[in-house]
Structure 1
Amino acid sequence: MSLQTRITELAQGIAADIKSLKAVGGNLAALNTTSKSSLVAAINEVLQLAQAAGSSSGAAINDAEASAGSTFSSTKVTSLLADLKNQILGGASSAYDTLQEIEAELGNGKTALANLLTAVGNRLSFADAQSLTAAQQLQACANLGIGDPTTDFLAVYTTSKS
């Protein structure tokens, strides 16, 4: 499934959710709170009452396990990210830590290096400006799973929400 298809489905899903929220939003005047100007104001009023009654104002920190009723500490999140980075790098040396497969190829001699440089020369560059034809741009987007970069997602969204 291309990125274009996924974004289109996302826009359609968001529009459907907005329709549902508008339908079930209800009449704010029917709230049993003092604040009736918005749902946020009413929720904040309820939260303040809960805090005054000694209730917790947020999720508890629990580094032992993930759950819907708790959150990890920033230390735990940093640790998990460091572990993920180490898994992605797979032990590559610092000089090639995002290119482990290239590191292995460079050790095979000049032919491997020449082949690698030719292949890299035929790739999209993130560091340099490139002049690509419309067909090349479309092919690059297709190769990346993006789909058609000219899709008007605002039109998709507008059509979906009406």
Structure 2
Amino acid sequence: MTLDVKLSALAQALATDVKALMAAVGNPAALNTTAKTSLVNAINELQLALQSATGINDAAISAASTYSSSKVTDLLAQLKEDILGGSSAAYDTLKEIEAKLGGDDTALANLLSAVGNRVSFADVQTLTAAQQLQACQNIGVGDPTIDLVAIYNAAKA
């Protein structure tokens, strides 16, 4: 099943859920709050009432979640480990990688040529419609020109 078929099914399911949610929300006028025109305002009113009743506020929550310097150090060490992915010591810095690649211009040129012929998610590229369709089919997206809004609106009606 291609991505466009999956997204169409998702749009139809979302429209069905939106219909159910709108029916479940009910009439805001029946709320036991002074804010009756907006559920967000009614929830905020309830939050303020709970905070004043319990003494719990944003400052108390913020103080409880403060990071210590050792916690920050541990998080940075974990980030480094995640980035390196267990690479050997011979390849764990950009300098070492550059030294390994820099000695062979032919291999680097071939690598750059191959990379230049690939679709990149990191760089802006200009592709023809045929190239876009081929790239999308290669990764299972399907037709990138599908009108998801039309599918959603048809399912919602």
Q: TM-score of the superposition, structure 2-length normalised?
A: 0.66
> Does residue 41 of the first structure (1) align with residue 41 of the second (2)?
yes
* CA distance in structure 2 between the aligned counterparts of 1:111 and 1:157, rounded to whole angstroms: 51
CA shift for structure 1 position 118: 3.6
Q: Does the CA-based 8 Å contact 1:138-1:149 persist in structure 2?
A: yes
> Does residue 119 of the first structure (1) align with residue 114 of the second (2)?
yes
* CA distance in structure 1 between the aligned counterparts of 2:77 and 2:2, rounded to whole angstroms: 30
* CA distance in structure 2 between the aligned counterparts of 1:145 and 1:84, rounded to whole angstroms: 31
Q: TM-score of the superposition, structure 1-length normalised?
A: 0.64
Which structure 2 segments of 5+ residues have no match?
none
* CA distance in structure 1 between the aligned counterparts of 2:27 and 2:135, rounded to whole angstroms: 50
> Does residue 17 of the first structure (1) align with residue 12 of the second (2)?
no
For residues 110-132 of structure 1, what are the alpha-carbon distances to aligned partners after superposition, in whole Å with 9 as ceiling and x for unaligned? Answer: 664354234223223554643x3
The residue that corresponds to 1:69 in the other structure is: none
Q: Give 1:87's match in structure 2, choosing from 82, 88, 111.
A: 82
Higher helix content, 1 or 2: 2
Q: Does the CA-based 8 Å contact 1:3-1:147 persist in structure 2?
A: yes
* CA distance in structure 1 between the aligned counterparts of 2:83 and 2:112, rounded to whole angstroms: 24
Q: Which amino acid aligns with 1:14?
A: L
- Aligned positions of 1:56-135 closer than 5 A: 56-57=56-57, 60=61, 80=75, 83-84=78-79, 86-90=81-85, 91=87, 92-94=92-94, 106=101, 109=104, 112-124=107-119, 127=123, 129-130=125-126, 132-135=127-130
- Moved >6 Å (runs of 4+): 74-79
Q: Does the CA-based 8 Å contact 1:141-1:147 persist in structure 2?
A: yes
Q: Identity of paired residues, percent? A: 52
CA shift for structure 1 position 155: 0.7
The residue that corresponds to 1:67 in the other structure is: none
